[in-house]
Amino acid sequence: MSDKIISWSGYEWLTRERWGQIHPDKTLCWYDSTAVEKIYVTYGEDQLVLKTHYNPKYFPHLDVTSNIGVGLVSNTTKFKYGYFEIEAKLPTGKHLWPAFWMWSWDTWPPEIDIFEGYTKKTKNYFNWSHEMLLGKFWNVNTNIHLGNYPDNYNLKAKTHWMGFKDPTKHFIKYSCDWTPNYLDFYYNGKKVRSITDKDCLEQLDNTTMNLVINNSVDRDVDINNPPRSEFIINYFKYEK
């Protein structure tokens, strides 16, 4: 198991999930440190680049070869209440699944999905559905997972207004504000969802969170010819 740690945006990050390089139930991709790169930019903080690429690796404990290496970073800090933000340009390619999210250090769930994006067959995130009439042009969602495994549940993924800018061509700010009384989500400074349900907030109150940023693929990806993509993040910011 690789324990590679990188420093970025004032924090230390593992280049895998803290429990390992591959999920035993989702073996078509694995968390590949070579798919994580920092790029120096002259105007400030290094950019973080999380990739997807064809890079087969055999995992003897599962007796499986996983063909797709994906970039993931897992923060080594335990977070509680506060404001969390990244500014990012989403990757392009078929069947991609980038995300910015948190899950409990103690158990799963709970989980807070600040965003999950899905390209499916189109290579971008354009939302070909009736929700376009409501100005929800991009398939980029928020969600909350709660309960106790295996009887867990979620509050349902929701797509939101993000403006007209293509998130693969423009840097967008994705953020949430987590307090004992509410959990608010913001896209480019606009509040898009607010959670105030007491049961939900109590479940979140009982834990600290591990924060993850990752590029990934969905189950319909071509495992022998996966997209070569780059999820570019300018910074991560946390304020208590």
Q: Please write the tens of the pLDDT for every residue from 63-83.
A: 999 999 999 999 999 999 999
| 205 is a domain residue | no
Mean of the pLDDT values across residues 125-136? 88
pTM of the prediction? 0.96
Q: Which region among 35-44, 118-127, 224-233 has the lowest average model confidence (pLDDT)?
A: 35-44
Q: Which residue has the tokens 């280049």?
A: 15
Q: Domain range holding 29? A: 1-47+61-91+100-106+227-240
| 189 is a domain residue | no
- In 58-216, where does DSSP find H-type helix? 198-205
pLDDT digits (tens, 9 = 90+) for 5-44: 999 999 999 999 999 999 999 999 999 999 999 998 877 7
Long-range contacts of 172-176 (CB under 8 A, 24+ apart): 172/87, 172/88, 172/89, 172/90, 173/85, 173/86, 173/87, 174/85, 174/86, 174/87, 174/88, 174/100, 174/114, 174/115, 175/83, 175/84, 175/85, 175/86, 175/114, 176/83, 176/84, 176/112, 176/114
| 66 is a domain residue | yes
Query: Do 1 and 69 fall within a single domain?
Result: yes
Q: Within 10 Å of residue 176's Cβ, how many Cβ atoms? A: 23
pLDDT of 1 > 60? The answer is no
How many residues are there in the chain? 240
Phi-psi region of 123 (alpha: psi -120 to 50; beta: other; left: phi over 0): left
The total number of structural domains that make up the chain = 2
